[in-house]
Amino acid sequence: MKNIETDILVIGAGSGGLSVAAGAVQMGARVVLLEGHKMGGDCLNYGCVPSKALIASGKAAHAQAHAARYGVSDVVPGVDYAAAKDHVADVIATIAPVDSVERFEGLGVKVISEYGTFISPTEVQAGDTVITARRIVIATGSRPAVPPIPGLDTVPYLTNETLFDLREQPEHLLIVGGGPIGMEMAQAHRRLGSRVTVIEGAKALANDDPETAAIVLEALRGEGIQIEEGTKATEIRGKAGAIEVEAEDGRVFEGSHLLMAVGRKSNLERLDLEKAGIRTTERGIKVDERLKTTNARVYAIGDVAGGLQFTHVAGYHAGIVIRSAVLGLPAKAKTSHIPWATYTAPELAQVGLTEVEARDKYGARLEVVRHEYAHNDRAIAERETRGLIKVMVAGGKPVGASIVGAQAGELIGLWALALANGMKMSQIAAMVAPYPTIGEVNKRAAGAYFSPRLFDSIWIKRAVRLVQRWLP
């Protein structure tokens, strides 16, 4: 058995773990990184990267089939599903060197390609090596949750971990789960030529603003996707190429392939957390606002910490841990400024409070300002007028923003900046946006907050008349 002593031990080489390892070692800390599976974790290999690559393939096919509105003839796209998956694999391969063992060893990180298991509060065993660390960061991420639906274990099914290896195009894809993963893959496959049925036990896109989510669902249904909300799957049966999902109301949905997309489960099983004195919750590892576990020497970040499950949250957590564990500075994590986006067309993005949440918190003090994409000249030029932005404002400051429409995932960044820094609406209104851009919707939303104060005020009108009378 080999023994290693280090300053920082990182368990898991996904987005958060890699960020901690790279930041800590470049600041002079001794770092050991454990990864028993693939470097880059879920995001690179099974999540964000491959899904967006497949969405891009679907977007290209859709553009060919809907070009007439731009004065270009519509054509039936010749979709090669296997070639689209080659595109996905190439995108992963292009990004992979940034997350590779070679790169991190080049930075000075000791990388061990084994899973880690706690054997004491300060020691972790990985293969034939025992690592003793001053600080330990658990960044093991999550995996697809598979619900105990009767019959599921008897039929072949896909998750996001296996979908991108599929080379045969589904003739009819059944998707159980109407969250972001389910809806993104539903639209991508529909645009590539598959029939798609989404079966959701409650409300699709339930974590987003209902008004903006409804616009996305209307668009997806308009493309021919069957979305069944309030439909709980109670039994699954069949075989490869002929799968049936029976719902609680007795309806049966038939398809050739089945994708399970009902949520995520934290990866805890290999860690033996009890030996380190680390407690868990139903969602993951119990952490405080500093991301420390019940063992003060151990942090948990990203999906495994049981909060918002986004790659950018893991990256944010990494920055908190570097400040605390590497630099010894006070640092606390918060969620009020964390944005998220669903990359359907139209895109859906949110930061801070939704309208319902904001009204519940602020009551009559809340103002909601809106701007429609239909009034944006760039959106008109590109035939992308479906969408809107809503900004929830209290005390002159934005407390939340909901956007649905083209480039919503890009636009939400401004409001995330505003919430993170306590900015006022006046500061957003003072921004000059280039014309014509989709980004002007942000500026116009801020303007909509001030318009009634300027144009509907009798006192402003009287002051202007007085000024005009005295101006030379």
Alpha carbon distance 412, 420 (integer Å) = 12
Domain-embedded: residue 333: no
Q: Are 285 and 398 part of one and the same domain?
A: no
Q: Are 350 and 426 part of one and the same domain?
A: yes
Range of the domain at 366: 339-455
Alpha carbon distance 323, 91 (integer Å) = 32
What total of structural domains would you count in the chain?
Answer: 3
* pTM (two decimals): 0.95
Alpha carbon distance 350, 209 (integer Å) = 8
Domain-embedded: residue 199: yes
Domain CATH number, residue 252: 3.50.50.60
**Distance from the Cα of residue 103 to its chain's centroid:** 26
Domain-embedded: residue 61: no
Domain-embedded: residue 370: yes
Domain-embedded: residue 57: no
Q: Are 281 and 136 part of one and the same domain?
A: yes
Q: Are 309 and 438 part of one and the same domain?
A: no
Q: Are 349 and 402 part of one and the same domain?
A: yes
Domain-embedded: residue 470: no
For 460, other C-beta atoms within 10 Å of its C-beta total: 12
Domain-embedded: residue 160: yes
Q: pLDDT in tens for each of the 472 residues of the chain? A: 899 999 999 999 999 999 999 999 999 999 999 999 999 999 999 999 999 999 999 999 999 999 999 999 999 999 999 999 999 999 999 999 999 999 999 999 999 999 999 999 999 999 999 999 999 999 999 999 999 999 999 999 999 999 999 999 999 999 999 999 999 999 999 999 999 999 999 999 999 999 999 999 999 999 999 999 999 999 999 999 999 999 999 999 999 999 999 999 999 999 999 999 999 999 999 999 999 999 999 999 999 999 999 999 999 999 999 999 999 999 999 999 999 999 999 999 999 999 999 999 999 999 999 999 999 999 999 999 999 999 999 999 999 999 999 999 999 999 999 999 999 999 999 999 999 999 999 999 999 998 776 556 677 677 767 778 788 7
Domain-embedded: residue 334: no
Alpha carbon distance 411, 442 (integer Å) = 7
Alpha carbon distance 26, 40 (integer Å) = 19
Q: Are 246 and 182 part of one and the same domain?
A: yes
- Domain end among 218, 238, 262: 262
Q: Are 345 and 320 part of one and the same domain?
A: no
